[in-house]
Structure 1
Amino acid sequence: MKNKEHTRQVRDTVVKKFKAGFGYKKISQALNIPRRTVQAIILKWKEYQTTANLPRPGRPSKLSAHTRRRLIRDAAKRPMITLDELQRSTAEVGDSVHRTTISCILHKSGLYGRVARRKPFLKDIHKKCWLKFATSHLGDTPNMWKKVLWSDETKIELFGNNAKRYVWRKSNTLNTPSPLSNMVVIASWFGPAFLQQGQGRWLKLMGRWMEPNTGPFWNLMESAKDLRLGRRFVFQQDNDPKHKAKSTMEWFKNKHIQVLEWPSESPDLNPIENLWKELKTAVHKCSPSNLTELELFCKEEWEKISVSRCAKLIDIPQATYSCNRSKRWRYKVLT
């Protein structure tokens, strides 16, 4: 085991004698140092053109090169794999290391933990329908969109929002398909509606959906009545199976309510999503401690939304809005 290294002067002398034509053996005898040491000094000088000490890598890695490549490969193929899972997989092959060690290895390869971006669970047919919807409404006037009564359901949790998912990905790869967390529409608790004149009534979704005197149908008619719409409105709804049921469509037909044709899996096209964001932020600041307070705060914050805010969302040229949003989502899912 080497106790100390030779001085810079000795190393320079070895190189000087080598340049003068001395062989490894003669240099070793002249300076009284091992032949292997002479050889190492010469090889280092040939490669780096210096005899000075170079930056050292530090303590040798506990993981073999094969295990490191395996970790990087697993994280690249399964972006949602956690450090705990990677730690267990390395322990199974006999390499027990800390999570920080695994994290450093992934960082050196360019993989960093990032929050998974959500996107709708789209198929090719959905993308085509989105583009068809956008192009078919390019010629619509602003007055047409002012008549649309927008509706949707959402879920507002008592304690914070849905949990974030972290994924392993490299920089500038935000829109690649693999690290994106698929978002599926979830059954909701509440279902209001709004248009340019303001927001409709707040409805807590409980019991049967298809009860015409107490369910969403009643809420729709009462909201239209409060906003003084009469029959001069177009109702927007998503393609949830209960919304497209035969009995539901017959009810719209009997009430002479025009329903806007809507592409599937397209929450991003609905301007009510902007209100959802503002509503959830406001309710979260109220810090409800139980479901009763949660419902109360939801109603209060919903009623605080100003008519000007609703009008501003509708005043955006909807044809351009829809087309641009569709193209942006198509870019997300195709790149």
Structure 2
Amino acid sequence: MTDTQLLLDIYWCGYKPEVKRREEVITLHRKGNGYKKIAKMLNIPRETIGSIIRKFKAKGTVEMLPGRGRKKLLTSTAVRYLKRRVEKSPRVTAEELRKDLSDVGTEVSAQTIRHTLRNEGLHARTPRRTPLLSPKNKKSQLQYAKSHVDKPQKFWDSVLWTDETKLELFGSMDQRYVWRRKNKAYEEKNTLPTVKHGGGGGGSIMLWGCFASAGTGKLHRVQGTMNSHQYQEILDDNVMQSVTNLRLGRRWTFQQDNDPKHTSKSTRAWLQIKGWNILEWPSQSPDLNPIENLWWDLKKTVAVRKPKNVTELEAFAHDEWAKIPVDRCKTLVSSYASRLKAVITVKVLSTTSS
């Protein structure tokens, strides 16, 4: 059954013939006409004809009688339509769904629609931001997830997660949500495809940051366009201080993505001299880095403070980064194995179908 057919069913379910029309149904029925013939004569659905006749036999009237208790605002057909619609189009809004129902005569509020979908296990969630991936990248992610999913929690607690992000002075925080069920965050239809950020300029700044299970580490503003040499200087100034502050111990692991300045010949040589244990990392995989969640937290809290200039933007960023609760960091890292399991489930399906 198509969405259009479902909407027509909702319309007819809500159709209430006027009293005179219902009286015509009973008159025709008494003359020996069957449901099908009456429906054709009066252009009323056969199910509605049956409902009128059964009610007349039970109550002896075609008048609308007062009901008992609170009636459901949405029929089972309407609920079925809502579920089907959001499963196919997770980014549809409650207001758009309300208008769909209104067009076929079912008047409910957007809040009623949200409540109904929650009862059906469909919740409005912020979409996970994932990169546009080639089949090769998908297979690389899958291999990474499979080879690391059984790592002990102690290993993940000793990882220093790092990344860069662009913070905009008047950046729009896209609050459009997706309707999805629990544990379906990484299905492709429930994610928001992204591309790698560019350099900061004008009303924005670039930030390098790090964190671990024990909390946030150093946050550093990138001046101009970062190259390999500047990247090495940032690491030199911030990494070991963060490792010490977060008490990661001697067996800690350094995480970075595969940005060209991170993997350049000079940076690889520099890291080799440092002797840090480097976590292997698949290309185009910010969705595997839990620091992305903290960047999102940071951008929301900074936006609330409405910085007026770049100086305030940087000051608020440092302030809010330091305020991120340790529990938030710990939760992100402790759930990392679950994240890998979810990625394995999704990537297996996507790579086998591509």
Q: Normalization by structure 2: what TM-score?
A: 0.56
- Partner Cα separation in structure 1 for residue 27 and residue 149 of structure 2: 82
Map 1:250-289 to 2 at 5 A.
250-289=269-308
What is the CA distance between 1:192 and its match in structure 2? 0.8
- Aligned partner (choices 200, 221, 224) of residue 207 of structure 1: 224
* RMSD of aligned residue pairs (Cα, Å): 5.2
> Is residue 175–residue 332 contact of structure 1 (8 Å, CA) maintained in 2?
no
- Partner Cα separation in structure 2 for residue 14 and residue 306 of structure 1: 73
Cα shift readout 1:92-120 (whole Å, capped 9, x = no counterpart): xxxxxxxx799937x99xxx9x9994542
Q: Identity over aligned residues, as a percent?
A: 33
> Is residue 80–residue 165 contact of structure 1 (8 Å, CA) maintained in 2?
yes
Aligned partner of residue 207 in structure 1, secondary structure: coil
- Partner Cα separation in structure 2 for residue 9 and residue 131 of structure 1: 67
Cα shift readout 1:174-210 (whole Å, capped 9, x = no counterpart): 9875685422232361111122454332222232423
What is the CA distance between 1:260 and its match in structure 2? 1.1
- Aligned partner (choices 241, 255, 261) of residue 242 of structure 1: 261
Map 1:68-79 to 2 at 5 A.
none
Aligned match of 1:327: 344
Aligned match of 2:41: 43
> Is residue 15–residue 45 contact of structure 1 (8 Å, CA) maintained in 2?
no
Aligned match of 2:9: none
> Is residue 14–residue 42 contact of structure 1 (8 Å, CA) maintained in 2?
no
One-letter amino acid of the counterpart of residue 135, structure 2 = D
One-letter amino acid of the counterpart of residue 289, structure 1 = K
Q: Across the two proteins, how many residue pairs are aligned to each other? A: 270
Cα shift readout 1:20-58 (whole Å, capped 9, x = no counterpart): 9xxxxxxxxxxxxxxxxxx999933996478999xxxxx
Decide which structure has greater strand share.
2
Decide which structure has greater helix share.
2
| Runs of 5+ unmatched residues, structure 2 | 1-19, 57-61, 63-87, 93-98, 108-112, 114-123, 200-205
- Partner Cα separation in structure 2 for residue 141 and residue 14 of structure 1: 76
Query: Is 2:229 the partner of 1:218?
Result: no
> Is residue 154–residue 190 contact of structure 1 (8 Å, CA) maintained in 2?
yes
- Aligned partner (choices 123, 145, 163) of residue 134 of structure 1: 145
Distance change (3 Å), C-alpha of 1:325 and 1:155? farther
Aligned match of 2:210: 193
Distance change (3 Å), C-alpha of 1:186 and 1:13? closer
What is the CA distance between 1:297 and its match in structure 2? 0.2
Q: Normalization by structure 1: what TM-score?
A: 0.58
- Aligned partner (choices 295, 306, 313) of residue 314 of structure 2: 295
> Is residue 119–residue 181 contact of structure 1 (8 Å, CA) maintained in 2?
yes
> Is residue 187–residue 346 contact of structure 2 (8 Å, CA) maintained in 1?
no
- Partner Cα separation in structure 2 for residue 7 and residue 311 of structure 1: 67
Query: Is 2:156 the partner of 1:145?
Result: yes
One-letter amino acid of the counterpart of residue 158, structure 1 = L
